[in-house]
Structure 1
Amino acid sequence: MKRTTPTTLRTGVIIPAAGSGTRMGGPTPKQLLLLAGKPVLAHTCAAFLAIPAIEQLVIAVHPDHAATTRELLLPNLSREHHPRIRFTPGGASRQDSVQAGLTALDPEIELILVHDAARPLIDRETILRTIQGAAEHGAVIAAIPVKDTLKQAAPDQIIQATVDRSHLWQAQTPQAARRALLQEAMDHAARSGFQGTDEASLLEHHGLAVRLVEGNEQNLKITRPGDLQLAQHLLSQRAAMKIGHGFDAHRLVADRRLILGGVTIDYQLGLAGHSDADVVCHALTDAVLGAMGAGDIGRHFPDNDEQYRNISSILLLDRVMAQARQAGLELSNADITILCQQPKLAPHLKAMQEHLAASCGVAPQDVNIKATTTEQMGYTGRGEGIACHAVVLMRYSNAG
């Protein structure tokens, strides 16, 4: 899986939240209903605010619910995120609310994401894919392929045809576009009297190309009471935290490069092994596999398989992290201890931290690395080898 990184374009989010949600059958707007003890909208906003590249988040709310929305939402979001949150009065239609959000964002914001208030299970990777996709292509939407057989019916519910689904996709949000493109499409729709069902339809109406990026099956929209129950079930599954521990040790030998945490270190000895023998990467990879309940590194990358001879262990970590993401897991934090008498590793720890954090898709401060000696005791103390312990805490995507 290609690792996704945020774009350098200044990015903002608009959450249209001015609807009444009448299909839920109650007086409370669906975005304010409780899900796992918090308003649905709080889960939605938290997913975006967890991404530092998102500078501002505007919530377009119905004037009748503005005060209640603030009172319910802000206490359920980290105080450090409050400066990035703005509220603006929403309009009678989604289009009006999105336009209000555009107006409320600072003019310097270059890339816009629009996301449904009632899609609280949006995951980090889908958000990052839409940001990167819009930066590269101008406009994208998250979507998933249609899997079920589709039937075209007459008004009397008699089937007329089976629809070819091979090129059909189910639209989700976020939908993202460069600001200038989205504003052009909004202006064109206003002039022509066009009412779109989503931002992609506005862009299409203006003749602009919109690409699809991979969405997520769990990124459901809460519309009816049963949807809230399903979201509750999925969120309870995600809330579980998984702990993993990894350990690795390799012998120091001549005529090998010393590579630790993806960093090549100038030393007269290197670590023996089938791959590049990077004990730091191996310990971290084993810890992630442990959290997943997926065995160890030897099961996935056996040392009798020639395709892994001298391979970079960072690549192996990349592959395991891709498996974790497919299982809905992401790294919360890692704590790594390297046991090494020589060479001195302190000058290299920052570079290791950055390499491993990039591979795991987290901020550098989420990967803590320590190096210690064993006071010349044991095989590491005698300079015969290097060992490493790693402990990870994994969480299900959008768990918090």
Structure 2
Amino acid sequence: MKPQAAVIIPAAGFGTRMQCAEPKQYLQLSHKPVIIHTVEAFVFNPHIHEIVLVVPEDRVEKTKNLLVQHNLSAEKIKVIAGGRRRQDSVYLGLLALSPVNNIILVHDGARPLISQDVIDRCYKGALLQGAVIAAVPVKDTLKKSSADGTITATINRDSLYQAQTPQAIQRDLLLRAYKENGTLDVTDEASLLEKAGIPVVIVEGSETNIKITRPEDLSLAEKILRKKQVTMRIGHGYDAHRFSKERPLVLGGITIPHSHGLAGHSDADVLTHALCDAILGATGAGDIGKHFPDSDDAFKDIYSIKLLEKVISDTREKGYIVGNVDITVVCQEPKLRPYIEAMTALIAGCCGVPSEEINIKATTTEKMGFTGRQEGISCHAVVLLQRTF
């Protein structure tokens, strides 16, 4: 087995150069906080088994809530309070990690555009070299000036690099560097390693792996995200259940007052089942019956939102996130309009998207067919999944 890796994401700073009341890692970038973009990149990476997110002490609970809102697994992510300096926050993160992680990546919370390729290069580099840092060659001509601004020299840039993160280090080397130099003021982990005489090797970074430091950086990140190649997959789901007496009627996870519920092995939530099928179809993963068969008593009368959460989790493991959803419930009775807002909010929470990305509508068949005769309810769902590179 390959050595297991974890990432520490220091995000305990405030970012005064952003000139705003909110810490920069919580600012909105393409409808999500910056820190959520950063975390998602590592959640999707197969090498990363644990994430420690280090935030300001007064932001710990808010950050945990943000993770829940965006459907990011609490089992894989720890949120802890940071220290006075960045290196203190990283050390606290290191102590919070499980000792089974042999490769430790450290990545700035304010670098939300980190690519899977760079993460992979850092992980593999640490395996082979012990310690690596993502960096890009300096492109611009560098000038040295005197106190009054007069140029005194032109610096040879041939061997100069602009440091980025992740920085990836074998665990024992990082612990050694902290033991020997942890009290010194440094700007990154590589500096600690260098002072301990531990070689650090450069691996190829990315020009788009920018750090959000000033207001214009946020605008640039928005433009980069819009230009990134996006892989989209579309799925369609359909389900139908007949009415049954003495069962609650559950649609979209919401119990709706009615004389009849729906017959089925689970709670027979036809809306949620159709959505599960749409998502599974988009990733080529079969259908709901394949994953949750009615021959398995583990799913007897199960709340179908739990099935949706599992489908979403598996989909994220494949690197896909929900873009938007359109659902049509075909139902003569009862009237669903009073419950659509609650269903929308619940489904949006499960999918980790804003409520405006979930559209649920209900229609009748003008008393035609089995739904028109009030024999049951059917539902169509269409989903757009996307993965960015």
TM superposition score category, shorter chain reference: 0.5 to 0.7
Structure 1 counterpart of 2:59: 65
Contact 2:44-2:318 at 8 Å conserved across structures: no
After TM superposition, the runs of 4+ consecutive aligned structure 1 residues lying more than 6 A away are 332-335, 363-366
TM-superposed deviation, 1:21: 1.1
- Pairs within 5 Å for 1:84-95: 84-95=76-87
**TM-fit CA distance, 1:56:** 0.4
* Match among 111, 115, 138 for residue 130 of structure 2: 138
2: CA distance between counterparts of 1:180 and 1:54? 18
Change (3 A) 1:365 1:131: closer
The answer to whether the Cα contact below 8 Å between 1:42 and 1:77 also exists between their aligned partners in 2 is: no
Normalising by the residue count of structure 2, what TM-score does the alignment of the two structures yield?
A: 0.60
Contact persistence 1:41–1:73 (CA under 8 A): no
Matched, 1:199 2:193: no
Relative to structure 1, the CA distance from residue 66 to residue 240 in structure 2 (aligned partners, 3 Å threshold; closer, same or farther) is same
Partner of 2:20: 26
* 1:128 equivalenced with 2:120 (yes/no): yes
* 8 Å Cα contact 2:52-2:96 kept in structure 1: yes
Does the aligned pair in 1 maintain the 2:136–2:205 contact within 8 Å? yes
Query: Match for residue 338 of structure 1?
Result: none
Match of 1:174 among 166, 180, 187: 166
Q: Displacement, 1:238? A: 2.0
Q: What does residue 103 of structure 1 align with?
A: 95
Percent identical: 47
1:51 to 45, 53, 57: 45
| Alpha-carbon distance in 2 for matches of 1:122, 1:333 | 24
Unaligned runs of 5+ in 1: 1-6, 244-331, 336-362, 367-392
8 Å Cα contact 2:105-2:123 kept in structure 1: yes
Partner SS for 1:82: coil
Q: TM-score w.r.t. structure 1 length?
A: 0.58
1:96, CA displacement in angstroms?
0.4
Q: How does 1:320-335 map to 2 (within 5 A)?
A: none
Say if 2:233 is the partner of 1:233.
no
Q: For residue 52 of structure 1, give the secondary structure of its aligned residue in structure 2.
A: coil
SS at structure 1 position matched to 2:134: strand
Q: Which residue of 1 aligns with 2:7?
A: 13
The whole-number CA distance in structure 2 between the counterparts of 1:31 and 1:239 is 24
Contact 1:333-1:394 at 8 Å conserved across structures: no
Counterpart of 1:74, as a letter, is V
Name the SS for the 1:8 alignment partner: coil
2:8 match: secondary structure: strand
Q: Distance in 2 between matches of 1:40 and 1:364?
A: 22
Give the equivalent residue in structure 2 for 1:302: none
The code of the aligned residue for 1:159 comes to I
1:42 is aligned to 36
Distance 1:242 1:75, change over 3 A: closer
For the residues of structure 2 that align with 1:32 and 1:74, how far apart are their CA atoms?
15
Q: What does the per-residue CA deviation read over 1:129-150, in whole Å, with 9 as the maximum and x for residues that have no partner?
A: 0000001110000000111111
Candidates 129, 137, 144, aligned match of 1:152: 144
Q: Distance in 2 between matches of 1:19 and 1:130?
A: 24
Displacement of 1:364 in angstroms is 9.5
Alpha-carbon distance in structure 2 between the residues aligned to 1:52 and 1:132: 12
Give the Cα–Cα distance (whole angstroms) in 2 for the partners of residues 152 and 334 of structure 1: 57
SS of the equivalent of 2:108 reads: coil
Q: How far off its partner does 1:61 sit?
A: 1.2
Paired with 2:155 and 2:388, the residues of 1 have a C-alpha distance of: 35
**What per-residue deviation string (whole Å, max 9, x for no partner) do you get for residues 217-263 of structure 1?**
000000011000110111122264368xxxxxxxxxxxxxxxxxxxx
- How many aligned residue pairs are there? 247
Q: Does 1:116 align with 2:134?
A: no
Please list every run of 5 or more consecutive structure 2 residues that lacks an aligned counterpart in the other structure: 234-281, 286-316, 321-384
Amino acid at match of 2:223: H
Secondary structure of 1:228's counterpart equals: helix
Whole-angstrom distance in 2 between the partners of 1:73 and 1:158: 50
Aligned to 2:382: none
Cα deviation for residue 72 of structure 1 reads 2.3
Note closer, same or farther for the CA distance 1:132–1:155 as it changes in structure 2 (3 Å cut): same
Residue of structure 2 in register with 1:222 after alignment: 212
Q: In the alignment, which residue of structure 2 is the partner of 1:211? A: 201
8 Å contact kept, 1:115–1:174:
yes
Cα pair distance change 1:23/1:365, threshold 3 Å: closer
1:266 matched to which residue of 2?
none
Partner of residue 68, structure 2: 74
